[in-house]
Structure formats: C-alpha cells, structure tokens
Structure 1
Amino acid sequence: MLPGPVFNAELLTTARRTRYYVVRSVYGAILLFFVWQNDPEYGAWGSRKNAGELSIQEMARLGWALFATILVVQSIAVLLLTPTLVAGVIAEERQRKTLHYLLASRLSSGEIILGKLAARMLHLGVFVAIGLPITSLLSLFGGVDPNVVLLTFAITVTTAFFLSALSIFVSTHARRPREAISLVYMVEFCWLFGPTMIPFLMPRGGVWWNLLYEWIKPINDWIAPTSPFHWFSVVARLGPSSAGAFLEQCFWMMGLQTAYGIVFVLIAILRLRGVNRRDGEGRLASRLAGFRRGRRLLPRPECGDDAMMWKERYVSRTSLVTKIAVIAIVFAVLCGLGYLTYDFGKPAFIEVIANGYGAFGGESARNEFNTYLRFMCTLMYVVLALAVASSASSGLTSEREEDTWMSLVATPLDGVEILRAKMVGALWAQRWLVGVLIFHWVLGLAAGSVHPLGVVAVALETSVYLGFAIALGTYFSVGAKTSARALVATIGTMFLVNGAYLMCCIPFQTWSWLQAVGVTPMVEAVSLLSFADFRDLSYGKIRGGNSWESIDMMAGAFVSVVCYAVAAIVLTLRALDRFDVEAGRPSRVNAVPPSTLMVFDDVVEANKAVDLEDDTRSES
C-alpha cells in the first residue's frame, strides 16, 4: 500500500541528488526572468503615456500578462521535464541489475510502479507549485478570474499525470534509460502536433490521402483532444464569448488524459514481471527477434582491422520494440515533412524555371521557400544536435552499466581508437536525419531559394557544431558513473552555451551579434542565405548606410564557428587524457614500449644462459 517502501526510498534518494536542486534553482530563475519581462517600465510597456501609478486597465493588463507568462513557462517545463524525471525509473533499475531484487521481494508490481510514479510526480509537482504563490495573488491585480487559475492548474496536473504514465509505461519495456527518455520525447512531439495537423494536411493530399484519413479519423478524434496544442487551437477559434464550449473542451481534455494515464499505468503494472522475464522484450518481440535472426535485410560487412569502429556502426543495443516504435514515428514525421516541403517547394521550382536561376525576376515563392527551409532546417539541426549529444554521453557509461568496461580496457585498443569509434558511432546512429537535412539543403539550392555560399556556410557550421556536441557528450561520458548523469550534464551544458548565458546580458540592454556567438540555432538560421539576402548583404545595406549590422552578423558567425571548433578540439583532447586515468592505464610518455620489454627479456635470458655455461665449465 502507498506510500510504501518504494515510495519512501525513491523520495529519499532523489531528494538528495544535486541535480534536482540545480534544476529547481534554474527553473525558478527562468520563471523570475520572464515575470520581470512584464515590468511596466520595461520594453513591453514602452507605449505607456503616463509614468507613475498604473490605471485600473493597466493593472488588469499586467495581471493577465503575468498569468499568461507563468502558464506558458510552466507548461513548457512540464513538457520538457516529465520524460527526464519519470522515463528512466524502471529502465534504470533494469540497467543497474537491481530490478530482479525488487521483483523477488514481497512487493507487488503495483507497489513498485505506483511508488516510483508517485515519488517522481511529487518532484514534478514542486515545479508546478513554484509559480502558485504568484498566480494566487493575481486576482488582486484584476483581469484574471480565480476559477480560470484553478482550471489551468488542473489541466497542468492532468497533463503531467498523462505524460508521467506514458513515461513509466515506456520505461517498463525499455532496456536503458536513454532509450526510454528518447522514445518518450519522440512520442510526446508526435502527440503534441500530429493529431492536430492530420485533419489539416491529409485531406489536401489527394484521393488516397483522403481515404486514409477517413480510416484513421475515428481514432484521431479520441487522441487529438488530449493534446495541449489541439486545446489551444480550439480555444483560439472559440473566442472569449463561448464560455460553455471552453469549459466543455477543458473538462473533456482532462477526462481523456486521466483515463489514458490510468490505462498506461495498469498496462505497466501488468507487464512489469512478464517483460523482465524476457530481459526487456515481450513475447511478440521475442518471436520477431527469433524470426529475424539470420535474415538481415542488409548483411553486415566483415569486421576488418578496426573492430571497435565496426562494433559501433553495426551492433545495436536498442530493443526490437523500440526500433519498431521509432520507425513508425519517423515514418509519420517524414510523411508530414515531405508534404510540407512539397507544398512550399513546388512554387519555388516553377518560379526558377520561369525566371531563371539567381536573383532575377519574381522571387516571392523562392523567398517563401527559403523562410520555410530556415525554420525547418534549424529545427532539424536542434533535434540532430541533441540526439548526437545524448548518444555520445552514453557511449562509455553504457559500457560500465552493461559490465563490459573491464573487457574493453583489457583489449590492446588504446584510447584514441575507442573514443574515435564512440564519437563516430554517435553521428552514425543519426545518419538518416543527417541525410534528410542535407537533402533539404540541396533542394533549396536546386530551387534557387538558397545561395551556394549559404549552403557552404551552413554545412561548415553544422559540422563544427555537431563535432562540439559529440566531443562534449564524450567528455562527460568518460568520467560519469551513470548515463543519466552524463546525459543531464551534457544537455544542461548545451542549453547553457546555446542561449541561457544571454540572461546575464539583460541588464546592459544592448544588442550585438557578437553576444549571440553561442546561440547555434540562430547562427544556422541566418546563414541559410537566399539570393536576395546575399544581394542585400553585399550591396544594398552598404549603399543604405547600414553596413555595420552586416559586418557584425558575419563576424558573429565567424567567431561562433572558431570558438566551437576550438572547444571541440580541447574537449576531445581532455577526453583522451581522462580516458587513460579512468581506465587505469599508464601515461603514454612514461610507459615502456612492448618492444623494449621484449629486448630486455631476451638479454636476461642470454645472460642466464652464459652464467649456466660458466657454472658447468667450473664444475667440470
């Protein structure tokens, strides 16, 4: 029964971890920063005519602005933190080889699942409660109904419960925490936007897409109302006068989220022991694995001389169930992405055929396609950078957690060979996403929407930034004890250097492109230049007397690439030095070469033979 020993142990152990204090402190600082952005003396209120006391209307406006700010920040925090906090609870026990001890005890599956879920949701509730004191005082400003405040907090709680239940369901079937967390993030992304975009995109795709949409529409109608993005789009269409429809939509969303969350928890309870008997795979996955054994679609090549590189490229630790789920999600995302790219790219190709390649004639369709490519390629880069960083952060920690670390360091392989294979393997695992990104660059170049120099610049920047992400993840993976610690340190550092540091520049209230050299998504977006952008950059702005901004932007991009390249090299060298220390190997400078030891042994044996011969002669 709850709270139970699992709940108590989980609550005590997680409360003592330093990263939870750090995450709560960072979240509180971010929340205060966005609240401070609503200061009447700040830029958002620059249109005020009278300084001093606020009027009643301005007080109501301030109260609503504070409420909207806290609601948005709180919702994003719940969506981002829930998979990280909950998705690894069961998979971590399985990876540490401690889950079978729990299952061998008198604890039931319900006590294990519910205890861990309740403890992690209590930590998640702390983040929701941080903004509660501020929102409780908003009624004093006016403009915010207390019932609306309670309703939005109730929606946040049910959304957190739904995501927590989904996370623990995935964690029950996953082998490793990183695998569970990555899969939950992918499912969450599809859940947020997929059901809402399906009714918008599929009916416009033609006859076959219409038939497919009619088949999946009944299922989509029961899934879409659980998405906050769908709820926001429906509420925006209803308007402020439809109070009854607004409440109906809110209660329908909360009811479905609660019902689906309970179903996920019940399935996790029922499947916990069955999955563990088959070492992370269910009965269906075991049968599929047995059927697939010996029938690979693409046969593996021979190992060759570079065994570590072969292992990282062709040996996968991901379970079959996770692979099937990832393939289904990626296929759905690629279908939507392909439709959007076709929709934006077709007019651009028609325009370039009619007007010629380059900045001649009409450019509206090509500029629109360029805007689409800037947004979509930047989004793909962010996903790719996070994916390779998380994969690199578990490269060496997974060897420790799977008890293969000692056998790895006992081989003749040196640190360069091992780390090189791990770093290449982190990028090799995301090769399909790299291919999709390059395809969009080439497509924009062919359509005349992207200047060739823009493609060269963004390709160079992406290579350097991905190299930094891989080097950073590898550096933390060398010294971290668990994959979770390495993953948190890597992703936290990535967020810090990619924009979080800009909060320190706010008091200066000045802007320069050199301040944003660490914000790699922004550099990627501005570097994907169109022909019109290149023309304005090289001629138009200089003639207009605004050349400093152009020079500042180009200098910022150049400094960004140089800084990240140097950081990647330094982190790689530090990881190599740290690997020898963690592996307990002697320094390469002080080590005695094996050839020297062999010569020394031969000399000793020769001396022994001479001494034995002298003794024989003296005796005779």
Structure 2
Amino acid sequence: MPLGPVFRHEMLAAGRKRRYFAVRVLIGLGMLALLAVGYQTVYQQLRYQQGALTGDYGATVTLSISGVAQLTATFYTLFAWATMIGVLAVTPAVAAGAIASERERRTIEYLFATDLSNSEIVLDKLAARLLTVGKLVLATLPVLAIFRLLGGVPGSLLLTHFAMLASTATLTAAIALTVGVWCERARDAVPRALAAVFLWLIALPLGFIALWQLGLYGVPWAEWLQDRVVMPLVTAMSAVHPVMMLATSAGISGGVLGVDVDRGAIALMVGFQLLAAAALLGLTVAVVRRVHLNAASSPGVRQKAAAGAPDSRSPYERRPMLWKEMFAASVKKQTSKWAMRIGVTLLVIVVGTPLVTLLVGGLARYRSIDFEDYMQLATGMVGTCGSILVLLMGSRAAGLITYEHERDTWLSLLTTPLPAGEIVTAKTLGNLYAFRWPLIGVVLMPLLGTLLDISAVLATLGVAATLGCLSWTATAIGLAVSLRMKSSIKAIGVTVFVLLSIGAFYSGLAGTFAGLSGASEESLSLLIFPPLAPFLLIVPVIAVFDSTPDYIMASYFVGLILYGAVGFFVTLGNTARFDQLCGRSVGYWRPVPGTTTPQRGPLAKPSPDASL
C-alpha cells in the first residue's frame, strides 16, 4: 500500500538531518531580504514620482494606501518568482538520489527482497521527498503573513500559486526519480537531474527561436516543418512550462492584485503536469527493478583510453593520480553508455539547432549581414549554458573527495607517497576532463560565427579564457567543500549554494542596497557585475559586434581577476587541508634517497655517506 514503511523510514531519516533546519532558517532570512528589497523598490519609485512633481528628489516619502497596495503587489511578485525558482532548483537535488542512494549503499536488494512492490517503493519515496520540499515552501508563510497587516494577498491567488508549485514540484521530482533510476551513485544523479530539468525549461524558448527562424525562409519545406512539427511541439511544451505560465498568468500586472489571473490556463497546466508526472512515474515503476538487476548481473565494459591503446602504462608511470582520475575509473555499463550518448545527442540538437539554422539562413540569404543576429543568439546561449555548466562542474567536484570516503578508499589514498599538490591537481584536471565535450560545445557557439565574420575568433578566445577561469574556480570550491564533509549529497548542496551566493545572491542584494546610495553607474557596475558568471561569459561576445562602455570592460577584467585569485588561493588551501587530514607537517611524503622507505616531511638531503 502507498505511504507504507518506506515512507516512514524516509521521513524519520529526513527529520534527523540538521541541514534541513538550517535551510529553513535561510529561507526565512531570504524572505525577509525580499521584503526589504520590495520595500526599497517601492519607496524609491514613490520618491521619484514625488520628485518629478515637486522637483525635490531627496524628500522623505510616506506610504499611502495606494503605496501599501503597490508594496504588497511587488512583494508577491518577488515571492512568486523566488518560490518557483526555488522549487525548480531544490526538488531535483532532493529527489534525484532517492533510488540512486539505495543502489550506492547496496541496500536496494533488501527492498527488492521484501513484499513491497515497485510502485510502493517509488511512490513512498516520491511522497517523502515531495513532503520535504513542501515543508521548505511552508517556511515562507510566516513572512508572507506579515502582509495580513497591510491588506494581505487574496487567498484565491495564493491557492492558485501553491497549486502551480505543487504540480511543478511533482513533475520535477518525477523527472529526477526517472533520471536517478539509471544512476548508480547519488552524486551522479543530482547533476543529471538538474541538467534534465534545465533542458525541459530551455526547450520552449529554443522552440520559439526555431519558429522565428523557419518563418524567415518562406519556402515550402520550412512552412511544413513549422506547421507540422515545431508548432505542435511548442504548443505541448507551453502547456506544461511553469515559468511561462507564471510570467503570463501570475496576476501581478493588474491594478488590483489577483484580478487578471487566468485560472483556466493554470488549471490546464496543473492537469498536464500531473499527467506527465504520472507517465514518468509509470516508467520508473516499470523499470526500477529491471535496470538494477540487469546492471548487477551484466559485466562491465572496459573503455579505451583517450589517446593510445588501453594497455598503455606510460600515463600511469608519469602521473599516477592524473591517470586514475582521467582513465582508470572507466568501467561503464552498456546502459550508461547509451544513456550518455542519448543525452549528449539531445543536448546538441536542442542547443545547436537554432544556431545552425540562423547560420545557414544568414549564409544563404545575406552572406555576412546576419553576423550581429547570430552573435546576439550566441550571447544568450553562451551565458545560459556556460553558467549551468560551471554550476554542474562545481557540484561534481564536491563529490570527488567524499566519494573516496563512501567507497572506503580514503585510507588507501592517504597511505600513498603522492604529494598533496599532485592529488589536488589531478582531481582538478580530472573534473575538467570529465566536462571536456560540454566545454568544447560552449566554445563552438561563438566559433561558428567565423563563417560570417572572422572577428568571432576574438569572442571565442574570450569565452574560452573566461570559461576556463570560472571552471577552475568552481572546481576548487567544490573540492574545498568536499574535503570538509563526509557525504556527497551534503557537499553538492553546500557547493551549489556557495556558487549561487557568490553570483546571483550577492549581486541581487548588493545592487538593491547600493542603488540607494546614489552612486554613479560606473561604481555600481564595478560592485555588482564582477561576481556574475553570465555577465563574464557574454561580455567577450557582445564586445565583438557592439560598442561596450569602458566601465563594462573594467568590470569584466575585475571579475576575471577576482575569480582567478579565488581559484588560486582556494587551491592552495585545498593542498594545505589535504596535508592536515593526512597528518603531514610539510606537504608530502618522499622516499629517503638511497632507500625505498617513505618518510614524512620534506625531501631529505642526502648525507655524506648516502652514496656509500
């Protein structure tokens, strides 16, 4: 029966985790920060309006009844977007490891040996993870209740929004559970689930871009493809896209809060999302036992090394840790290989189709006139895909050390005579190597523009340098967190929060409060923009086809220097931390010259009789 022993066990385990209490406190503080941002925004708008009438822009403003209503509408706007984005970001991280963690701990066989059916296992885990997400959403209600003193938010509007959140969380959790079934480790399931949700969200705007481009051709094949293929897909995706529905039917643009809510469209979206979630859960229930048993009974397939024969020992002899991180962990199942190939193929189709379509259209119709249009599209692609990629690289790096603990190989790593710097460097380069194809894909986006104008080479070099700097820093931060934790899930969560705090959270709060100081635009850009990864990624592309102010370029170079310094010092800290965990006083173990016995400390100088 549903909500049985698995549900009770999941809820007991979640109730004993202190991190959920910390997350609820952070959510409450975040809601208070949104309240402060909303108040300052409305206050500045009213002061500007009064200054436009009286000429005194520095006068104190008292909130009237209309001002209080405007404050309520502004806060609800921020609340609606913050909760929706939070659900889309948190739910995959919470739900992705539900099945993968059981496989990783080798406890899933005990579940299969009981009388529990597949549906009971999957639905119990889904209900427990959704309830965990729901408790995090409910942590926002105390701050929302403050507005009962200011006239409040209509109850029907709140119910409509929470219905959207519930259906979106259900579909997102179903996507994460389905992805996690084919993952053998929780640390792999989380970034893959986040990537699947990201592809779901970005598919709709890419579909609109494809419609726009096909409409420019005016040829029969383009019209047929637009009417018979792309348009039905865009319509279907629009029916279940939460961000689009929130933007068009959130009831936040009317004069009276909640009067323009399209409840019919929201109800349709909720229904379609629940149907899609039911289909995915049906697939998960059908394959959860079969996938694990097939993976446990079928032998692994040894992959070949990247360059050279698989029996080549030269990389191992020169850099053993680097060889291990890049090539040694290469036993993959056939299902994993095919799943990876399908995922890469879908990513190439979703991301590359609009770019290639615009590129071919520009070459066929206008030769090099469409260079600016292509680079504008590439700017959005590079900023979005590059930022998500950096976040995924940091989350993977967060599990590189904790995974050694979970596999019980940590002690074996500590007893090797390898220097700490070599181990940390190998972990860093191995993480970059694991994302080599996505990194190349992001760099190729502006590089394709060279077919239209050779100046795109400069944008490509700038994107490559920026992406390399951000990737190194994200990997270093992930390793720093991983060295201080024993659980991969905890390390991934903390790393993602730290990376988001460096960019989005800091810049949003700094921009709001710095704007009140009346500082110049140049000063504000130097304060707000440097930590933003999307800003740093798009500046090299924009600078090629558009005039860029000097203060924007200054903010770009300040950001590169900032991230480079953070990556350098965090890497040094990781080396020192590794030495501390090993109990090494200086930095490495080296054999004493003339012997084969490792000695802790620096490389000993040979004594006068060492050669005797």
The reply on whether 1:155 has 2:160 as its aligned counterpart is: no
Match of 2:24 in 1: 24
Farther off after superposition, 101-110 or 481-490: 101-110
- 1:164 aligns with one of 154, 163, 173: 173
What residue number does 1:610 align with? none
Question: In structure 2, what is the equivalent of residue 339 of structure 1?
Answer: 353
Conserved? CA contact 1:38–1:44, under 8 Å? no
> Which of residues 78, 81, 84 in structure 2 aligns to 1:72?
81
Which structure 2 residues correspond to residues 196-207 of structure 1 after superposition, within 5 A? 197-198=206-207, 201=210, 204=215
Residue number in structure 2 paired with 1:35: 35
Distance 1:512 1:295, change over 3 A: closer
Q: Residues 221-620 of structure 1: matches in 2 within 5 Å? A: 224-229=238-243, 231=245, 246-279=262-295, 301-307=310-316, 308-314=321-327, 315-316=329-330, 320-345=334-359, 365-409=370-414, 413-444=418-449, 447-448=452-453, 455-502=460-507, 503=509, 506-508=512-514, 509=516, 510=519, 511-516=523-528, 517-531=530-544, 533=546, 537=549, 550=550, 552-583=551-582, 587-588=586-587, 593=592, 595-596=594-595
TM-score by length of 2: 0.78
36-45 vs 570-579, greater mean Cα deviation: 36-45
Q: Which amino acid aligns with 2:89?
A: L
Q: Percent identity?
A: 26
In structure 1, what residue type is equivalent to 2:562? C
Once the two structures are superposed, residues 75-112 of structure 1 have per-residue CA deviations (whole angstroms, 9 ceiling, x without a partner) of 11110110011111221222123333444456554444
CA offsets, 1:250-284, max 9 Å, x none?
Answer: 22221222233234334434444333333469xxx
Counterpart in the other structure of 1:615? none
Are the aligned partners of 1:139 and 1:146 in contact in 2 as well (CA < 8 Å)? no
Classify 1:48/1:131 alpha carbon distance in 2 versus 1 (closer, same or farther; 3 Å).
farther
What residue ranges of structure 1 are gaps of 5+ in the alignment?
355-362, 538-549, 601-620
Give the conservation status (yes or no) of the 8 Å contact 2:174–2:281: yes
Given that 1:63 and 1:139 are in contact with CA atoms closer than 8 Å, whether structure 2 keeps it comes out as no
Deviations, residues 413-447 of structure 1 (Å, cap 9, x unaligned)? 44444433322221112212222222233334564
Aligned residue in 1 for 2:56? none
Give, in whole Å, the separation in 1 of the partners of 2:5 and 2:382. 48
Report if aligned partners of 2:302, 2:331 keep a CA contact under 8 Å in 1. Answer: no
| 1:74, distance to aligned residue in structure 2 (A) | 0.8
Cα–Cα, structure 1 residues 79 and 303, in superposed 2: closer, same or farther, change >3 Å? same
Are the structure 2 counterparts of residues 465 and 245 from structure 1 closer, same or farther at C-alpha, using a change threshold of 3 Å? Answer: closer
CA RMSD of aligned residues (A): 4.2
Verify the 8 A CA contact 2:418 2:589 in the aligned structure 1: no
Single out whichever of 18-27 and 484-493 deviates more from structure 2: 18-27
Query: What is the aligned residue count?
Result: 569
1:183 to 182, 186, 192: 192
Q: Residue 511 of structure 2 contacts residue 524 of structure 2 at CA under 8 Å; is this kept in 1?
A: no
Which letter maps to 2:342?
A: A
Q: Output the CA distance in 2 between the equivalents of 1:327 and 1:599.
A: 44
For 2:45 and 2:533, the matched residues in 1 are separated by 26
Deviations 1:112-142 (A, max 9, x none): 4333332322221123223445556768867
Alignment partners' CA distance in 2, 1:295 and 1:570: 35
Task: Between 194-203 and 294-303, report the one with greater CA deviation.
Answer: 294-303
- CA shift at 1:382, angstroms? 0.7
Cα distance per residue 1:446-472 (max 9 Å; x no partner): 644857665544433332222111222
Question: What is the distance in 1 between the residues matched to 2:587 and 2:65?
Answer: 74
User: Which letter does structure 1 place at the counterpart of 2:133?
Assistant: L
Which of 404-413 and 332-341 deviates more? 404-413
Assess, with a 3 A threshold, how the Cα gap between structure 1 residues 170 and 66 changes in structure 2: closer, same or farther: same
> Counterpart in 2 of 1:48?
49
More moved, 379-388 vs 584-593? 584-593
**Given the superposition, is the C-alpha separation of residues 449 and 230 from structure 1 closer, same or farther in structure 2, using an over 3 Å criterion?**
farther
- Distance across 2 between alignment mates of 1:353 and 1:429: 37
Verify the 8 A CA contact 1:173 1:275 in the aligned structure 2. yes
Deviation at 1:385, TM superposition (A): 1.1
- Equivalent positions of 1:91-102 (< 5 A) are 91-102=100-111
- What is the distance in 1 between the residues matched to 2:142 and 2:490? 31
Q: Is residue 366–residue 449 contact of structure 1 (8 Å, CA) maintained in 2?
A: no
Change (3 A) 1:227 1:531: closer
Q: Measured at CA, do residues 66 and 512 of structure 1 come closer, stay the same or move farther in structure 2, by a change above 3 Å? A: closer
Q: Is the 8 A contact 1:6 1:115 kept in 2?
A: yes
Cα offsets for 1:281-303 (capped at 9, x unmatched): 9xxxx5xx88x779999985443
* Contact 1:171 1:180 (8 Å CA) reproduced: yes
SS of residue in 1 equivalent to 2:397: helix
Q: Which amino acid aligns with 2:497?
A: G
Q: Distance in 1 between matches of 2:157 and 2:124?
A: 32
CA distance in 2: counterparts of 1:245 and 1:591, whole angstroms: 70
- Local SS of the residue matching 1:278: helix
- What are the Cα deviations for residues 41-60 of structure 1, in whole angstroms up to 9, with x where unaligned? 53344543387555555554
In structure 2, the partner of 1:123 is 132
Query: Is this contact kept in 2: 1:83–1:185, CA < 8 A?
Result: yes
Counterpart of 1:606?
Answer: none
TM-score, scaled relative to structure 1: 0.77
Question: One-letter code of the match for 1:11?
Answer: M
Partner Cα separation in structure 1 for residue 537 and residue 152 of structure 2? 40
* Equivalent residue, structure 2, for 1:611: none
Aligned-partner residue type, residue 528 of structure 1: V
State the AA in 1 paired with 2:326: R
Conserved 8 A contact 1:450-1:530: no
Q: Give the Cα–Cα distance (whole angstroms) in 1 for the partners of residues 347 and 227 of structure 2.
A: 16
* Alpha-carbon contact 2:463-2:537 (below 8 Å) kept: yes
Classify 1:58/1:450 alpha carbon distance in 2 versus 1 (closer, same or farther; 3 Å): farther
> Is the 1:370–1:449 Cα contact (8 Å) retained in structure 2?
no
In 1, distance between residues paired with 2:287 and 2:401?
A: 30
